[in-house]
Amino acid sequence: MEGTETGTRKLAAIMFTDMVGFSALTQSDEAKALKLLAEHNEIFRAVLGKHEGREVKSTGDGFLLEFPSALNAVQCAIEVQQTLHDRNLIEEDKIGVRIGIHLGDVVSRDGDIFGDGVNIASRIEPLAETGGICVSGAVSQQVENKITNQILPLGESDLKNIATEIAVHRIVMPWEGQAAPKTKRKVPVQLLLVAAIVILGGGGWAIYSGMNLDKSPQAVAPLSESQELVEKAKQLIANPMAYRETWFTAKELTENAIELDSLNGEAYAVCAQASFYIFEHYKVASPKEIDAASRMADKSFQLDPDSVETLLARFFALSQQRDDSGRQFLVENADRFPADVRIPRYVVNRALFLPEEQANSEYTVWKARADAIDGEDHYCLAAYAVNRWIHSDYDLALELIERSLEIQESTDAYHWKLMTLVSGIGDLEKGRELIEDLPLQLHSEDRIAFLLFRTWYRSGMYSEAVDSLQSWNRPFIEQDLVFYPVGYLRGLAHDAAGSPAAAAAAFEFGLTAVRERQENDPTSIELIGLDALILAKLGQMDEAEEKAQVYRETRGESNLRLELALGNYDWVISYLEERIGGRQSRGLNRYQQALTEPEFQVLRDDPRFEKIMQAGEEWLNETLSQGNAEQAD
């Protein structure tokens, strides 16, 4: 930094923000304006610290902010706008903000900043739309390929009192289209249809074949633009081959629908369903996020209490309680919608973890109800296969899954087939054969991508294990409330292949991802456990043990991978003996893990471990023999 008589000169990223409509609201309702301003300020200040930003000063209804890098500034802006967008979906009084960012020289003096860099940022901010972000070309160059958001050039702008023209770009938020600034951003229906087809691959056309798009306006009353988006979302998530991007796209469509029509109750209902599904399968949600989705479900009930979509939204909300209340709610209301096959399907799904006899009874009754609606139901077959998998009845699980796939290919069936082969029976050869036949779009489905890695890893094919994640563009694989840093998984494969330098670099990458996520969720016990696990893999045992102790005390139990990485082999032996020797639920999955994963190699010479492995082999053979005998009968 260069010192001057009037201050210190430095390079910084400067952000200007403006709360849209504040002055007009002050004149009509000052109390409401001040209340919204206070909430606006709270949101900004909560996000600012996560990205190393500094509040230089408040401009009344906005801020002048300073960041050490352009990337910090852009990431902060994106999080603020996403937070406000999510808030505005469920709040009647909206908070709209424009953001402008520039990277340039500033002079710092007495806590304030001055210079052309500040002036340029202040001129860029008004070019942004409400809810939008505009940046200079200098910022765009710095963050390109470092953020997932698209960056669109808006051309050279002649900014007031700025001598040279400045290239301006727009950061595209997930709910925005690519229209020029200062226009209402809507997603064209035709574009959504094409996007859905691209997302779902070659089978996408079939999804819309039942929508009667060729009917004349006289035959079918036209839908509102908002409802058209809802219908597209419903069609997306009804597809049996739906996967991660399908659900996120459906959520964005319904968010757009709510913006177009805030009284569309079905839009809130389907958005809540998509949100809860995402939380359950791809993201460990914060209490605040779960509360926001629950309020959407409540809003749908206020606006459209007699819709089946509202019923399902409330079911998903109740299911967050992790008890049987969601299933019971569906059972009590099933007769209201006797022709909707989703209700018996979800009852079967939620009955999976009931006591075995009760689960079997529920399956028999509700599958019959689903079959009566639309022939033999593929979903119920695959769902019940999960129940048999839980009880180590792998032959019947595979039989049910094969029947399900014969009727209809589905993401769930493929997932559980691979899971049964690799983590149940331990037939890695058939697992690899299934991978060869797996529809390509499912390779980006988190649950299946993790199983692809696990199949190659347990097969001793470590290069293939690394390659299976090579194109993964997110720092985590999220699957069923469990998330794995991609760097950690790659590190395991490199370590097993005898490449310590590559393993260390991958583990460091994984640790960085964990700690970045901890900034947004510092109390997450799962992240603390992952932090401890990767530290142990890096050989930083003292710090790893310190964090592991926090994990144990908070959870009231420990974790097999963590204790193994820390070298607590007696604990590991006791755990395996209890699970495998005691034939507890999912004990055979632990047997396959201990049998095939390289980390357990350190236990091979321990006679206690050998005895446990023998017990696991006997258990598996008995299970498969019993299944074969039942099939013969």
pLDDT of residue 270: 96
Mean pLDDT over residues 23-32, rounded? 86
| Average pLDDT of the residues in 389-411 | 92
SS3 619: helix
Looking at every residue in the chain, the average pLDDT score rounds to 85
> What's the pLDDT at 591?
94
Is 14 within 8 Å of 74 (Cβ atoms)?
Answer: no
Say which range, 39-48, 276-285, 409-418, 430-439, has the weakest mean pLDDT. Answer: 276-285
Which pLDDT belongs to residue 287? 79
Structure tokens at 533: 């696990």
pLDDT of residue 496: 94
Which is higher by pLDDT, 578 or 440? 578
Each residue's pLDDT tens digit, 460-512: 999 999 988 877 878 899 876 678 999 999 999 999 999 999 999 999 999 99
The rounded distance, in Å, linking the Cα atoms of 597 and 457 is: 7
Neighbours of 463 (CB within 10 A): 11
> Taking CA 51 as the corner, what is the angle to CA 46 and CA 57, rounded to the nearest 5 degrees?
65
Burial 348-362 (b: 16+ CB within 10 A, else e): bbbbbebeeeebbeb
Is residue 208 over pLDDT 90? Answer: no
Mean pLDDT value of segment 349-375: 90
Tokens found for residue 229: 């988006």
pLDDT for the residue 203: 34
CA gyration radius for the chain?
A: 27
Higher pLDDT, 187 or 630: 630
Q: Band the pLDDT of 5: cuts 50, 70, 90.
A: very low
Flag the least confident range among 79-88, 598-607, 612-621. 79-88
What are the helix (H) ranges across 202-264? 204-208, 225-238, 244-260
The answer to whether 77 touches 102, Cβ cutoff 8 Å, is no
For the chain, give every domain's residue range.
2-171
Please state the φ and ψ torsions of residue 100, each to the nearest 5 degrees.
-125, 140
Mean pLDDT of 12-22: 92
Identify whether the C-beta of residue 74 lies closer than 8 Å to the C-beta of residue 106: no
**2-171 maps to which CATH number?**
3.30.70.1230
- 239-251, pLDDT tens digit by residue? 898 888 889 899 9
What are 548-597's pLDDT values in tens digits?
A: 999 999 999 999 999 999 999 999 999 999 999 999 888 999 999 999 99
Question: Which pair of structure tokens corresponds to residue 479?
Answer: 């699957």
Q: Which long-range contacts (CB under 8 A, 24 or more apart) does 428-432 make?
A: 428/455, 428/458, 428/459, 428/596, 431/455, 431/459, 432/456, 432/459
CB count in 10 Å sphere of residue 467: 14
Measured torsion, CA atoms of residues 503, 508, 512, 517, in degrees rounded to the nearest 10: 50
If pLDDT is split at 50, 70 and 90, which confidence band does 407 have?
Answer: very high
Percent residues over pLDDT 70 in the chain: 89
Decide: helix, strand or coil at residue 15.
strand
pLDDT of residue 28: 87
Question: What's the pTM?
Answer: 0.64
Instruction: Report the pLDDT averaged over residues 382-407.
Output: 92
The CA distance from 197 to 211, in Å, is 14
- Read off the pLDDT of residues 608-626 as tens digits, 9 standing for 90 and up: 999 999 999 999 999 888 7
β-bridge partners, 97? 19
Find the mean pLDDT for residues 331-345.
94
Per-residue pLDDT at 161: 56
**Of the spans 86-90, 135-139, 201-205, 573-577, which averages the highest pLDDT?**
573-577
Lowest-confidence range among 67-76, 147-156, 614-623? 147-156
CA dist 316 and 32 (Å) reads 34
Unique residue bearing structure tokens 């058209």: 228
- State the Cα–Cα distance between residues 388 and 393, nearest whole angstrom: 5
